[in-house]
Structures are given as structure tokens and as C-alpha cells.
Amino acid sequence: MTVVRIKDLGSHSQQTVVIRGWVVTTRSSGKIAFLVQRDGSGEVQAVFLKKDVPQEVWERFQSLTQETSVEVTGVVRPDDRAPGGYELTATGLTVLGTSEDYPLTPKEHGTTFLFQNRHLWLRNRRQVAIAKVRHEVVQALRDFFYDHDFVLVDTPILTGAIGEEAGNLFATEYFDLGQAYLAQTGQLYGEAAAAALGKIYCFGPTFRAEKSKTRRHLTEFWMLEPEVAFNDSDDNMRLQEEMVTDVVKRVLERCREELEQLERNLEPLRAVDLPFPRVSYTEAVELLRGLGSDIEWGRDLGGDDETLLAQQYDRPVMVYNYPKGIKAFYMKVNPEDPRTVLCNDMLAPEGYGEIIGGSQREDDYDTLLERINAQGLDPESYRWYLDLRRYGTFVHAGFGLGIERFVAWICGMPHIRESIAFPRQIHRLYP
Ligand code: 4AD
Ligand code: MG
């Protein structure tokens, strides 16, 4: 007997197949019984007719509970009313694993309870849809960079130098070498690799001991970071908008069912197209003040400012050249206005805020050393990074895309914690 995944039933019409999965719901009357089963690829309804199935199969059906794992044998029948277009006329049923008192009933549960049961909640239709969108997003990104001739370089997670800022580091003792930090970014290593390979990206988990409990922050999140030799800040922004447009279009094309399951309003996603609006930080401050914000030049945009600003556009907006004082040490000082650096954030629409942070990198040895010292960082641990400015320095730029924020926006979820299978937050380390 052929074991088939539910999504492939279409190519087995009228054949007898076996499906392995879990019970979603059951319903039965005296003569006929229905089992909705899921296997990760989809859901299908199996119909049991009392007069046609062996007595023990009929009895076994009566013992089924939510999330029992089962093996169902049956004949595949096309059915226009069925969600996947097919139904199963069951002939056999085996219980693989019983499931008593499954904690997540079809009724509403509170968020805390759901996250305590995240290992089970993952089976929920909505959660499955989110996982599939994330999978498509990541694959689309990898394909985008592969097609654009970027080389994937994996960067270390245990690092000796601070990548972004001292304020939110996870540190651990590292043998006789003192402290090691969990990577906040792969960027510095990406820059070294860009001098070897020209165009690279790294993609991996990054860590920040964020004390803030906002809907945009996790302590462990995945970041994709391209780095390109001879790109300036302008090229950098162009790459960002091309990448985001490409991925959103592909998700719209291939994740129709998932977005429908999530009841995502598709209009904001359909609006994503080149070019994205660009405003300088200075313009953004003026604009925001005009809209009632009390922001002052020199201060970082708060979450509310980002939301307000993004509301002025129908697609993601890029804010460029922030004040030097609120950005990382490695950003290149703007030669036309040394109070600012050549950088940009991309703000997603609909209140999702910053999904990308990027910049042209400081490529002058002395200026970089000065900035490392000015920020109280130890120049000794950046010796290798400074070397990149000693041996064939080069204009280069790159950015980091936070996968969870990107996925949360695409899925239209209020909080980013559902866009990763097992979120890590200040108060959450289990399961
Ligand atoms: O703006 P960030 O801090 O930039 C960097 O780390 C650079 N080194 C990237 C680069 O130029 N290669 O972070 C980049 C993105 C943010 O825009 C956001 O999407 C995400 O990473 N991010 C977070 N996502 C979830 N939780 C957090 N605590 C995050 N912090 C940043
Ligand atoms: Mg940032």
C-alpha cells in the first residue's frame, strides 16, 4: 500500500492509499463517521461507513481523541466541497499513539498558556501557516542571493569583539581567554569575507540581552546580513529594496493558502514595489514634528515615531543618514555632514517598524580607530577588523534583515514572537 502525504492526494485519485497523521476532529452518527486528519502537508477528511468497514475499525474510530496519531487506509475520491479537493473513503484505521486530555482544545486559550505549550501549539493551523511562510521567506532570500552571485559565509556565534554595542551582550567565560560574547551580528566577519569574495551574506542566529519587552524584540533572533565590496550607501539601499520586493512577491505567489489562513489583508503586500521612498533622518525629524511628535534632532526614532512615519507611505520607507551619536562605531562618517553617518533603516508599513538596519562602513583606518576609542571599545580586540583598513581598504556596505520582524509583517501578526518556533524572550526560556 502506498503511503501518501495529504498534499499529494491529487495524483492518487481512485487509488487506495495510506495516510499517517494526527486527529484534528471526529464526528459520527449511527451509520457514518468523519475523521479530519492532518499530516503537516495538509488536512483531509476520511469517511467511515459502518456497513462497509470491519466492525473493529468502526469501534476503533469511537476511541479517537484530538491529536491521536493514526494510520488511515482509504480510497481517494475527488470532492469539490473538500478543502483540498479530495476526500478519503476509509477502509482501515490503526491507532499509532493515543492522546488523552490534550491541553489545547479548540476553545480560546490565553497567550501565556499557549506559549507554555508552544511545543504543542506548533500543531495549530495558524502556527503551521506561519511556519510555512517563514520557510518560504528564508528560501526566497537564499535564492535571491544565490541568483545574484553572493557567496554564503557562516560567521561565528562565540565572538571576542563586541559587534554592535556593549549594552545588551550575553557573555560567557571562555577557557583561559576571558570573556566570549554571543554574536550580536555577523557583520564584522562578513566585512573580512567581502574582501575575499566580493559579495557575501551570512545568515544565522544572533543574540541581544534586550531588557525591553516590546512586541519587536527577542533575545535570540535570526539575521541575514549581506556585505558587498565597492557598494556605497546608495547601492546598499537599492539592494535592500530589490530583495524585499522580490521576497514579498514570491510569498504572495506561493503562500496564498497560508496568508488566507492567517486572514492577512493582502493590499499592503501587493503595494510593495520599486522604488521605495527615501527620506533623510533630518527630513524625517521635521516631518514627524509636523505630525505632532516631540522628537528632536539627535535623538533616535522611537517605536511610535517609526509607526507614524511609515504610515505616510504605502510601502516600506528608507530613512537614511542618522546622527553619528546614536549609531554603531563602524558606520562611515558622512563627508558632506560629519554630524551624520552613511546609513539607513528600512521601516515596514502598518506599524512594524525597523526591519532592516544597514550602512556604508568606515573604510579609513584612523577614523575607525578614533571611533572605536571614542566608544570606549578595546582597540586590541578590533585589531583584525582594523587590518581590513590596512591591507587594501575598500568602499563597502551591507545590512541586516531581522527575519522574525520581516515574517511578522508579512503575516500581519501583532507580535514577532509567533514568527519563530521557540521564541527566546527576557522571561521565556522554556520550552
Ligand atoms: O539594526 P541592527 O542592530 O543592525 C546590525 O546588527 C548590523 N550589524 C546589520 C548589518 O549592517 N550587517 O539589526 C538589524 C536588524 C533590525 O533591523 C531588526 O530587524 C533586527 O535586526 N533586530 C531584531 N529582531 C528581533 N529582536 C531584536 N532584539 C532585534 N534587534 C535587531
Ligand atoms: Mg538598527
Q: Is residue 112 part of a domain?
A: no
| Pocket probe mutation, ligand 1, options 207, 405, 418, max atoms within 8 Å of Cβ | 405
Cα–Cα distances in angstroms (integers) from residue 149 to residues 62, 152, 226, 243, 267, in the given order: 57, 10, 11, 13, 32
The protein residue whose alpha carbon is closest to atom 20 in ligand 1 is: 402
260 and 298 both lie in a single domain: yes
Ligand 1, atom 2, residue with closest C-alpha:
357
Task: Determine the distance separating the centroid of ligand 1 and the alpha carbon of 357, expressed in angstroms.
Answer: 6
Cα–Cα distances in Å, from 216 out to 112, 123, 134, 185, 326? Answer: 17, 24, 16, 17, 19
Helix axes 125-147, 233-254, angle to 10 degrees: 130
User: Which atom of ligand 1 lies at the shortest distance from residue 359's CA?
Assistant: 11
- Provide the domain limits for residue 59: 2-97
CATH code, domain with 31: 2.40.50.140
At 238, which CATH number?
Answer: 3.30.930.10
Instruction: Give the C-alpha separation, 328 to 164, whole Å.
Output: 6
State if residue 210 touches ligand 1 by the CB under 6 angstroms criterion: yes
Domain identity same for 158 and 92:
no
Q: Which residues lie near ion ligand 2 (Cβ < 5 Å)?
A: 357
Closest-approaching ligand to the CA atom of 226: 1
Q: Write the residue with the smallest CA distance to atom 21 of ligand 1.
A: 402
Which ligand neighbours the alpha carbon of 170 most closely? Answer: 1
Sheet strands side by side (includes 171-173): 158-159, 179-182, 171-173
Question: What pTM did the predictor assign?
Answer: 0.97
Q: Are residues 223 and 332 in the same domain?
A: yes
Pocket test residue of 221, 239, 247, 345 for ligand 1, highest count of atoms within 8 A of CB: 221
Residue 133 lies in a domain: yes
CA of 374 to the centre of ligand 2 (A): 20
Per the CB < 8 A criterion, the answer to whether 321 and 281 are in contact is yes
202 and 75 housed in the same domain: no
* Tens digit of each residue's pLDDT, the chain (431 residues): 899 999 999 999 999 999 999 999 999 999 999 999 999 999 999 999 999 999 999 999 999 999 999 999 999 999 999 988 999 999 999 999 999 999 999 889 999 999 999 999 999 999 999 999 999 999 999 999 999 999 999 999 999 989 888 889 999 999 999 999 999 999 999 999 999 999 999 999 999 998 878 899 999 999 999 999 999 999 999 999 999 999 999 999 999 999 999 999 999 999 999 999 999 999 999 999 999 999 999 999 999 999 999 999 999 999 999 999 999 999 999 999 999 999 999 999 999 999 999 999 999 999 999 999 999 999 999 999 999 999 999 999 999 999 999 999 999 999 999 999 999 999 999 99
Residue 322 lies in a domain: yes
Ligand sitting nearest the alpha carbon of 236: 1
Backbone torsions φ then ψ of 224, nearest 5 degrees:
-105, 125
Q: How far apart are CA 209 and CA 357, in angstroms?
A: 18
Tally of domains in the chain: 2
